[in-house]
Amino acid sequence: MDKYCVVFVCNKNYFDKFVNTCNQLITKGKYKGNICLVIGDDLRGDKVLECDFIRNNNIIIQYFPNIHFTKEFLEVNNRINCGGSNITKRFQWHKLHLFNAFFKEWNYILYLDCGMNIFDDILPIL
């Protein structure tokens, strides 16, 4: 399973959802491979990352600095009507880091949203 890595992206607001979904991945999903959590500035160095769940499951923490948007980008982005998450949840752009060379260590990356529910073995997906 070392050729696979399941990746989550979360900021401090979504950390509890990450733990819940990741726990389901391990228990209900029966996943035993690599897991990576991509974080930004608000979780960098935070004690919450030292919790037993992270340590006991050997979760890889990968930090990328928050993305700073240009004024021009924000003017265009703020006019897009897609439910408002493009304005209120700008951290979601951290998903673009899944294309970073850091992830070339694995052959396959499976991205999961924090807050998803996993009900059964994920092996068929892999």
In a domain, 117, yes or no: no
In a domain, 121, yes or no: no
Decide if 117 contacts 13 (C-beta within 8 A).
no
Count structural domains, the chain: 1
Model confidence pLDDT, tens digit, residues 85-96: 655 566 677 788
Q: Of 39-48, 75-84, 93-102, which gets the smallest average pLDDT?
A: 75-84
Dig out the tokens for 111 from the structure: 């991205």
Q: The domain spanning residue 44 has which CATH number?
A: 3.40.50
In a domain, 118, yes or no: no
In a domain, 122, yes or no: no
In a domain, 123, yes or no: no
Dig out the tokens for 36 from the structure: 């990576």
Q: What mean pLDDT is predicted for residues 43-54?
A: 95
Instruction: Kindly provide the b/e burial profile for residues 82-106, where b requires at least 16 CB atoms within 10 angstroms of the residue's own CB.
Output: eeeeeeeebbeebeebeeeeebeeb
The helix (H) or strand (E) run that includes residue 24 is helix 15-27
Q: What mean pLDDT is predicted for residues 70-78?
A: 71
In a domain, 32, yes or no: yes
Q: Which domain holds residue 85?
A: 4-111
The yes-or-no verdict on residue 116 having pLDDT over 80 is yes
